[in-house]
């Protein structure tokens, strides 16, 4: 099922979030047509990706369900790493799994940059080798290319937390717009653009 877009309209010193652009401002009732560029609807980019289309990436998703399908922000999360074809290597209490489905809505963090030619070529082989041992964590895979090994805390702070903050804001907007036609957030004075 396709995710419904979230739009932002800026008017009346507020960000107005909605699914469809309203003809009138829900805060003041004035027409939005002709209200200027700042009142033009802007589609917010979704922080979620189809994990099987994200090669060589670290993926994060709820253990049960989806982020936009009832995730409460407190339930467990599950991680995986993709090979160059989008197969997700993931681990649970039953061991290591290779999944070709089930990661259609997740947070994706690229692990291999385009300038890492050697690692681009060797990724699948290295991932398979690491998956048969205990050293398959993403911060350890980079060590194979002579990079300094990151700790789990460093990796989480640098890459995971910024993405989960974006996802959390998006989930909040999604939940509000599931229950209401609009979600209005007043702008601080310095951001007033109407």
Asked whether the predicted pLDDT for residue 147 surpasses 70, the reply is no
- For residue 179, count other CB atoms closer than 10 A to its CB: 7
Question: Is-contact 144 122, C-beta < 8 A?
Answer: yes
> Each residue of 57-100: pLDDT tens digit?
999 999 988 999 888 888 899 999 999 999 999 988 888 899 99
Structure tokens at 67: 């982020």
Question: SS3 helix, strand, coil % of the chain, rounded to 5?
Answer: 30, 25, 45
Q: What is the pLDDT of residue 38?
A: 76
Strand order in the sheet with 182-186: 42-43, 7-11, 14-18, 182-186
Question: Is-contact 174 68, C-beta < 8 A?
Answer: yes
Asked whether the predicted pLDDT for residue 193 surpasses 60, the reply is no
d(CA 192, CA 133): 55
Structure tokens at 66: 């989806």
Q: What is the pLDDT of residue 34?
A: 80
């Amino acid at each position: 099922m396709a995710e419904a877009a979230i739009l932002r309209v800026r008017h009346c010193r507020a960000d107005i979030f909605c699914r469809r652009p309203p003809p009138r401002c829900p805060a003041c009732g004035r027409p939005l047509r002709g209200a200027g560029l700042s009142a033009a609807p802007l589609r917010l980019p979704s922080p979620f990706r189809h994990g099987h289309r994200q090669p060589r990436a670290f993926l994060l998703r709820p253990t049960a369900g989806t982020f936009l399908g009832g995730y409460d922000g407190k339930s467990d999360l599950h991680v995986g790493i993709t090979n160059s074809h989008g197969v997700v290597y993931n681990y649970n209490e039953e061991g290591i799994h290779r999944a070709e489905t089930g990661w259609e809505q997740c947070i994706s963090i690229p692990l291999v940059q385009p300038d890492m030619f050697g690692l681009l070529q060797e990724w699948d082989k290295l991932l398979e080798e690491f998956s048969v041992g205990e050293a398959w964590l993403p911060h350890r895979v980079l060590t194979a290319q002579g990079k300094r090994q990151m700790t789990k805390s460093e990796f989480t702070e640098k890459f995971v937390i910024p993405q989960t903050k974006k996802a959390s804001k998006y989930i909040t907007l999604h939940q509000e717009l599931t229950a209401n036609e609009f979600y209005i957030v007043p702008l601080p004075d310095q951001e007033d653009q109407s």
